[in-house]
Amino acid sequence: MNQTCNIAVLAGGPSAEREISLVSGRAVVRALKALGHRVFEVDPRPGSWSLPPETELVFLALHGTWGEDGTIQAELDVLDVPYTGCGAQASRCAFDKVLSKRAFVAQGVPTAEFELRAADDDRLPETIDFPLVIKPACQGSSVGVEILSDAAQWQTAFSRTAAFESEILIEPFIAGREITVGILGEQVLPTVEIRPRQGYYDYHNKYTKGATEYICPASFDASLQEEIDRAALRTMQAIGGGAFGRVDLLVRGRQLYVLEVNTIPGMTETSLLPLGARAAGLSFRQLVQRIVELACAAHSVELTAII
């Protein structure tokens, strides 16, 4: 027996991650239809979008700015339409790397030290030595991220990153194991380890087939895995909570460093959240249904039972 409702899937949108969002949206639409839901597809633009009047729930597959930064969530709150994922405030906190860093520090979540720079302030960092990482404060999918080995690369790399955002985050480069942990309500999914075959986990390695190896479940001893799971849950709590998400971390020895929270993670059948869910025994359709159920529970939406 399935539990169904009328669902509008929002995908595409205006961000730099539009194409990835469309791929996520198509995968979600296929799954929802197979589950028996009535589905509407919406490719929104700021100031020029609307929902079918029959919509009971919005499934957000909008990656990047406007979709993940709390803006669309705030608009849906005004419309009093329930939606999947985190609320407006938690989404904004997670998407803005500066806000999330401050939240991590305030809540004792392990994370790397950092400096901030305005896009027009290209002074060398004062407290962080090379090698280091610079990234736009509000972009996803590793857009605008640069890894610098020495000061000779600074000016050119900073200019490239500054083209994306008005505020720049600077962190030390930490060589370690890159992992990601999916959260479904209070359930922590098996850890995925990310191993690019060349370079680091940039946009190319994320979305080019075969460029990265993924190991799930990742191999950690039991006590370290418990620390990872606790850190992932604490990270979600630090940003203000949410029905589901994905926490990215680095592990060096036994030290954890939380990188960021993805409040609308990729939702293709080969994306990292579905990979973790599959290791927990959930098919892609079951994962999508679980996300719907979490959203309905959070917003008190009643599902219709069908045989």
262 three-class SS: strand
Enumerate the β-bridge partners of residue 187: 184
Find the DSSP H helices in the chain: 18-34, 71-79, 88-95, 97-106, 154-162, 203-207, 222-238, 272-279, 284-299
Q: Using an 8 Å Cβ cutoff, are 183 and 94 in contact?
A: no
Query: How remote is the C-alpha of 252 from its chain's centroid?
Result: 22
Q: How far apart (Å, rounded) are the C-alpha atoms in residues 226 and 214? A: 20
- DSSP annotation string for 267-300: -STTSHHHHHHHHTT--HHHHHHHHHHHHHHHHT
Q: Which residues of 58-95 are buried (b: 16+ CB within 10 A; e: fewer)?
A: bbbbbbbbbbbbbbbbebbeeeeebbbbbbbbbbbbbb
Long-range contacts, 291-294 (Cβ 8 Å, 24+) = 291/59, 291/84, 291/85, 291/184, 291/243, 291/244, 292/3, 292/5, 292/7, 292/32, 292/37, 292/57, 292/59, 292/84, 293/3, 294/84, 294/184, 294/185, 294/243, 294/244
> Whose structure tokens read 């949410």?
242
Name residue 8's amino acid: A
Enumerate the β-bridge partners of residue 171: 133
Q: How far apart (Å, rounded) are the C-alpha atoms in residues 217 and 261? A: 19
Catalytic machinery residues? 17, 141, 207, 246, 248, 260, 262, 266
